């Protein structure tokens, strides 16, 4: 007698991805058809009649749905297809084009709008193809300055952007796949352009902005509050997200010195930053990286101001 | 399994989540585009335009991810979502797994 062979078992691809799931859903299509009556005491009061279908367009067409719309959309696209590329003027030639974008700053709204950066021998244009819109346009001769700038993106990467200013006072921030190449091509096309050298990268010691605790003196005793501290050429500023105005403003000339002291810190490492100021006396701060803050603060301290808290009217030398 | 979004930087996490969802939509669009192309309904010019547009979308997404330094977080999140789906589908087609899980 032969041994019974193991029965064949259906198997399943052990790896199903979300993309597969969506594909199956769209290929098969799903239809929801709902009729609903809400009644009270057998008297219908509210009626719901819901019809919904989701499927890939190919499946939709198979079932004869949305056919007309599909045709009219494609016919419309056919007619407008000619207007997708940049229209060059007579005698104008394209120098370079690359993917990029333009930072729209309009009232409260700020946002990058992607498009293609086109540089011709006459114009610099950022064009979005679909839906077609000229995001930024300036004549090469109308540009006053171009400058490379560095900014930090959400994920902490440093990106180089191109800041352009026109003769009539407009400025714009552009991104481009190759900002250095664009910068070079622009200065080559318009030698009269003031090509400012790349803006120096803001050294961490020059401009620090991060979470900072401030021990606010109150009648009931000092109170630690969390907020954002910013140290820059304008001095130290601390503001809580709950306050309308910064609670602490120390101009650079008023900073006498800073050092680290052991103390109870909300950051949890037992170190607080003590800042000596001219008019506000001792200010106690705490940060995740107290040493970095203390060094940056000490670097801004006016070197020649004598440590004389009893004479707050000591003239601070202009740095 | 739980999805882990880096809570240290909320912006970073939200952006990664949004991009992951956009990637899922993009994948769906690409697969449907393939079906439409194979359907033989589109003209030569339309095929070319569709291919170009999808390629551009792909490039733009890659660039955004690169720009914000979230390529790995998006890939991780995408894999996490896939695992969730895999898990759910596995349980749906394989009720024996419920008993297994209950017995554990």
**pLDDT score recorded for residue A199:** 53
pLDDT per residue over B37-88, tens digit each?
888 888 888 888 888 889 988 988 888 888 788 888 888 889 888 888 888 8
- Asked if B6 is an interface residue toward chain A (Cβ–Cβ < 8 A), one would say no
Q: Cα–Cα distance between B51 and A109 in angstroms, integer?
A: 33
The distance of B27 to chain A (nearest Cα, Å) reads: 7
B49 contacts on A by Cβ (under 8 Å): 77, 81
Angle at CA of residue A62, ends A60 and A65, nearest 5°:
45
Starting at the edge strand found earlier in the chain, the sheet holding A194-195 runs A133-139, A123-128, A109-120, A94-106, A171-176, A158-166, A143-152, A194-195
Torsion of the alpha carbons at A199, A201, A203 and A209, rounded to the nearest 10: 90
What ipTM was assigned to the predicted interfaces of this complex?
0.79
Q: How far is CA A63 from CA A4, A57, A168, in A?
A: 48, 10, 58
Residue B40, chain A, CB below 8 Å: the answer is no
The answer, for A75 touching chain B at a CB cutoff of 8 Å, is no
A119, containing H or E segment? strand A109-120
pLDDT of residue A50: 94
**What CATH number does residue A276 fall under?**
2.30.29.30
Instruction: Answer yes or no: is A162 within a domain.
Output: yes
pLDDT at B3 (0 to 100): 59
For residue A32, the enclosing domain spans 20-75
Same domain, A152 and A120: yes
Reading chain A (319 residues) residue by residue, the pLDDT tens digits are 556 666 776 655 567 888 888 999 999 999 999 999 999 989 999 999 999 999 999 899 988 888 999 999 888 877 776 656 777 888 888 888 888 888 888 777 888 888 888 888 888 888 887 677 888 888 888 888 888 888 776 656 677 888 888 888 888 888 888 888 888 888 888 877 765 655 554 444 456 678 888 888 877 778 888 888 888 777 788 888 777 777 888 887 788 888 888 888 777 778 888 888 888 888 888 888 888 888 888 877 765 544 444 444 445 555 4
- Parallel, antiparallel, or unpaired: how do β-strands A194-195 and A171-176 relate? unpaired
pLDDT at A300: 76
Tokens 């490379």 found at: A148
Q: Does some domain include residue A229?
A: yes
Q: Are residues A190 and A214 in the same domain?
A: no
Least CB–CB distance from A155: residue in B36, B69, B78: B69
Nearest 5 degrees, angle CA B62-CA B12-CA A289?
130
- Tell me, yes or no, whether A200 lies in a domain: no
Alpha-carbon torsion angle A261, A266, A269, A274, nearest 10: -20
Same domain, A175 and A220: no
Whether A210 contacts chain B with CB within 8 A: no
pLDDT in the model for residue A312: 47
Q: Is residue A201 part of a domain?
A: no
pLDDT tens for each residue of B19-37:
999 999 999 999 999 998 8
Which residues in chain A are contacts of B28 at CB distance < 8 A? Answer: 19, 22-23, 26
Task: Give dist(CA A286, CA A263) in Å, integer.
Answer: 10
**Cα gap A40→A84, rounded to integer Å:** 58
* Structure confidence at residue A197 (pLDDT): 58
Within a domain: A283: yes
Judgement on whether residues A223 and A294 belong to the same structural domain of the protein: yes
Whether residue A217 lies inside any domain: the answer is: yes
Could you tell me if B85 lies within 8 Å of chain A, comparing CB atoms?
yes
- Is residue A232 in some structural domain? yes
CA distance A64 to A70: 11
Tokens, residue A38: 């809400």
Domain boundary among A164, A195, A226: A195
Could you tell me if A190 and A230 lie in one domain?
A: no
Q: What is the count of structural domains for chain A?
A: 3
Inform me whether the C-beta atom of residue B7 falls under 8 Å from chain A C-beta atoms.
Answer: no
- Same domain assignment for residues A179 and A246: no
Q: Do A99 and B63 touch (CB under 8 A)?
A: yes
Are residues B69 and A157, on separate chains, in Cβ contact within 8 Å? yes
| CA torsion, ordered B93, B98, B101, B104, to nearest 10 deg | -140
Q: Are residues A158 and A231 in the same domain?
A: no
Q: Are residues A151 and A190 in the same domain?
A: yes
Among chain B residues, CA nearest to A175: B67
pLDDT for residue A238: 84
Reference B68, options A159, A254, A143; nearest CA is A159
Q: How close does chain A come to B18, measured CA to CA in Å? A: 13
CA distance B59 to chain A (A): 9
- The H or E element spanning position A185 is helix A179-189
Q: Are A129 and A116 in contact (CB under 8 A)?
A: yes
Q: Are residues A145 and A177 in the same domain?
A: yes
Q: How far apart are CA A140 and CA A134, in angstroms?
A: 16
Q: Backbone phi, then psi, for A254, in 5-degree steps?
A: -90, -10
In chain B, which residue's Cα lies nearest the Cα of A81? B49
Residue A36 lies in a domain: yes
| Distance from the Cα of residue A30 to its chain's centroid | 38
Write down the pLDDT at residue A4.
Answer: 64
Give the per-residue pLDDT at B2: 58
Residues A30 and A67 both lie in one domain: yes
User: Looking at residue A54, what is its pLDDT?
Assistant: 92
DSSP state, residue A284 = E
3-state secondary structure of B55: helix
Q: How far apart are CA B98 and CA B69, in angstroms?
A: 40
Are B68 and A12 a contacting pair at CB < 8 A?
no
A117 and A190 housed in the same domain: yes
- Looking at the fold, whether A160 and A110 belong to one and the same domain comes out as yes
Nearest chain A alpha carbon to B37: A58
């Amino acid at each position: 007698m032969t041994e019974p062979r193991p029965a064949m078992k259906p198997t399943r691809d052990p790896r199903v991805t979300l993309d597969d799931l969506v594909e199956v859903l769209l290929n098969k299509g799903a239809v929801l058809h709902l009729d609903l009556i809400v009644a009270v005491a057998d008297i219908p009061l509210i009626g719901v009649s819901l019809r919904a279908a989701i499927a890939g367009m190919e499946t939709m067409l198979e079932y004869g749905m949305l056919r007309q719309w599909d045709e009219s959309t494609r016919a419309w696209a056919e007619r407008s297809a000619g207007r997708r590329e940049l229209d060059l003027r007579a005698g104008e030639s394209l120098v370079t084009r690359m993917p990029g974008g333009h930072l729209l700053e309009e009232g409260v709204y700020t946002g990058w709008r992607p498009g293609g950066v086109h540089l011709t021998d006459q114009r610099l244009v950022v064009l979005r193809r679909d839906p077609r819109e000229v995001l930024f346009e300036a004549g090469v001769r109308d540009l006053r300055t171009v400058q490379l700038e560095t900014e930090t993106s959400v994920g902490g990467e440093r990106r180089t952007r191109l800041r352009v200013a026109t003769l009539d006072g407009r400025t714009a921030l552009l991104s481009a796949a190759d900002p250095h190449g664009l910068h070079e091509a622009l200065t080559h096309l318009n030698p009269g352009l003031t090509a400012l050298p790349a803006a120096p990268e803001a050294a961490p010691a020059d401009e620090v902005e991060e979470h900072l605790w401030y021990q606010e003196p109150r009648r009931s005793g000092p109170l630690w509050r969390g907020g954002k501290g910013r140290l820059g050429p304008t001095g130290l500023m601390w503001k809580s997200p709950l306050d309308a105005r910064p609670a602490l403003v120390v101009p650079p000339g008023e900073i006498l010195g800073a050092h680290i002291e052991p103390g109870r810190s909300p950051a949890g490492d037992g170190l607080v930053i003590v800042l000596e100021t001219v008019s506000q006396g001792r200010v106690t701060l705490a940060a995740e990286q107290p040493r970095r803050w203390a060094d940056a603060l000490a670097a801004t301290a006016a070197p020649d101001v004598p440590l004389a808290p009893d004479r707050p009217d000591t003239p601070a030398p202009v740095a | 399994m739980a999805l882990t979004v880096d809570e240290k930087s909320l912006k970073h996490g939200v952006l990664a989540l949004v991009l992951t969802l956009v990637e899922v939509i993009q994948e769906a669009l690409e697969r449907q585009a393939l079906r439409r192309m194979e359907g033989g309904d589109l003209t030569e010019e339309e095929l070319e335009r569709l291919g170009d547009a999808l390629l551009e979308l792909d490039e733009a997404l890659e660039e955004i991810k690169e720009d914000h330094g979230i390529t790995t977080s998006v890939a991780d999140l995408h894999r996490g979502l896939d695992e969730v789906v895999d898990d759910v589908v596995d349980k749906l087609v394989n009720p024996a797994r419920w008993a297994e899980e209950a017995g554990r």
